[in-house]
Amino acid sequence: MKARLAVAAAALLASGALHAQSTLDAVKSKGYVQCGVNTGLAGFSQPDSRGVWKGLDVDACRAVAAAVFGDASKVRYTPLTAQQRFTALQSGEIDVLSRNTTWTITRDTGLGLNFVFTNYYDGQGFMVPKKLNVKSAKQLNGATICVQPGTTTELNLADYFRANKMSFKPVVIEKLEEVVNAYFAGRCDVYTTDVSGLVAVRASRAQNPADHVILPEVISKEPLGPAVRHGDDRWFDVVKWSLIAMVEAEELGLGSKTIDQQLASTNPSVQRFVGATGDIGKQLGLDNRWAYNIVKQVGNYGESFEANLKPLGFDRGINNLWTQGGLMYAPPVR
């Protein structure tokens, strides 16, 4: 009996210690969210000329800061390559990974990650110089292809060429800046990554974007979104619902410039969302105005898309709201 009581007491102490060391508590204690981002991908996470980080993935982290602190600026950014990103999250170097990362079963289980939500539905494609006169990926047999290691891109590339009985010569380069430079310098015939990455690179890095063609084939499913570590459900909930709130806000027609005018709305869904009724924030360990703060300071999902991706030539497509024929669908905030 004494042995059982001792084990139970130890378990309770361990549980208390784990709770005391939760990510949410640690984040609140240090006063900011440490966010792992891309080393520089236009539209998703990239510092501007003043060194201010901007992008769809950056906004996901800003939303978490707005929810936790009521201040979207309380974020620090850690630029990570594809090979560095998972170790940084597993080790606790960062609190959340928001770096155009594909949700897969291996990462969800073997790497001990929890993907919170999909903030961009994507797929892998190929970009080639227009002068090569290539119209289809089926014409790439024997091509030299630039690709980053430690990515689903690398695995999908091998699968696609094997399935179509074609060969290719890989040029494997870890850093995004270097792989992009290699492609534009002509070290490879083809650059392959998620279509979003191809669109962003062509728009932001090509001397003349019209000189480069994104081929029509999309060879994979790439649901991209932020991830947190296994084993901390409270932090998982906070990050997950911060992103969902941006989608829900767009569904409700709440935007950064209009939300104050809509505080007086008699719509029960709006009243719950802004914290006028209910205790949803408290259930998350946050202020009840957590979602209001996200929309007021960061905007809804559509605003983030318009600000970061539309200037680069992105269409909403499948990333539109479900009411507009897309896949963006927020579970009820209630």
213-271 confidence digits (pLDDT tens): 999 999 999 999 999 999 999 999 999 999 999 999 999 999 999 999 999 899 999 99
When the pLDDT of each residue in the chain is averaged and rounded to a whole number, the result is 93
Residue 45 half-sphere exposure toward CB, CA atoms < 13 A: 25
Residue 297's pLDDT is: 98
**Tens of pLDDT along 88-140?**
999 999 999 999 999 999 999 999 999 999 999 999 999 999 999 999 999 99
Residues 6+ apart with CB under 8 A from 21: none
What would the pLDDT profile of 323-332 be if each residue is shown by its tens digit?
Answer: 999 999 999 9
What does the DSSP assignment read for 217-280?
---S-EEE--EEETT-HHHHHHHHHHHHHHHHHHHHT--TTTTTTTTT---HHHHHHTTSSS-H
Q: Which of 185, 213, 184 is nearest to 199 (CA)?
A: 213
Q: What would the mean pLDDT of 13-34 be, rounded to a whole number?
A: 75
pLDDT of residue 117: 97
User: pTM score, two decimals?
Assistant: 0.89
Tell me how far apart the alpha carbons of residues 88 and 176 are, in angstroms, rounded to a whole number: 18
Domains of the chain, CATH where assigned: 2-121+224-324 (3.40.190.10), 124-220 (3.40.190.10)
